[in-house]
Amino acid sequence: MTVPDRLKTPRAFLFADPAAHSLSPRMHGAAFAHAGLRGTYEARRVSAAELPAAVAGLRAPDVLGANLSLPHKEAALPLLDSLSDAARAIGAVNTVIHETGQLRGENTDAPGLLAALRDAGLAELPPGAPVVILGAGGAARAAAFVALRDLRRPAWIVNRTLERAQALADEFQAFGEVWAASAGATPWDAAPLVINASSAGLNDPGQTPLDAALLARLPAGALVYDMVYKPAETRLMREARALGLSADNGLGMLAHQARLAFRAWTGADVPAHVFLDALRPPEPA
The three-class DSSP label of residue 99 is strand
Distance CA 50, CA 74 (A): 15
* Binding of ligand NAP by 250 (CB under 6 A): yes
Q: Are strands 82-83 and 63-68 parallel, antiparallel or unpaired?
A: unpaired
* Binding of ligand NAP by 234 (CB under 6 A): no
Residue 272 to residues 21, 124, 146, 252, 279, Cα–Cα distance (Å): 21, 21, 19, 8, 11
- Which lies closer to ligand NAP via its Cβ, residue 83 or residue 227? 227
Residues listed for the chain: 285
Selection from 29, 32, 135, 138 nearest residue 87 by Cα? 138
* Binding of ligand NAP by 138 (CB under 6 A): yes
* Binding of ligand NAP by 203 (CB under 6 A): no
Interface region with ligand NAP, contact rule CB under 6 A, candidates 48-56, 96-104, 120-128, 252-260: 252-260
Distance CA 241, CA 238 (A): 5
Could you give the residue numbers annotated as active site? 73
State the binding string over 61-100 for ligand NAP (x if CB under 6 A, else -): ----------------------------------------
Q: From the CB of 256, what's the least distance to ligand NAP, in Å?
A: 8
Interface region with ligand NAP, contact rule CB under 6 A, candidates 120-128, 176-184, 226-234, 260-268: 226-234
Distance CA 256, CA 123 (A): 18
* Binding of ligand NAP by 199 (CB under 6 A): yes
Q: Quick one: how far is CA 115 from the chain centroid?
A: 11
Where on the chain is the footprint of ligand NAP (CB under 6 A)? 109, 135-140, 159-161, 164, 197-200, 202, 207, 209, 227-229, 250, 253-254, 257
Binding residues for shikimate: 22-24, 69, 94, 109, 229, 257
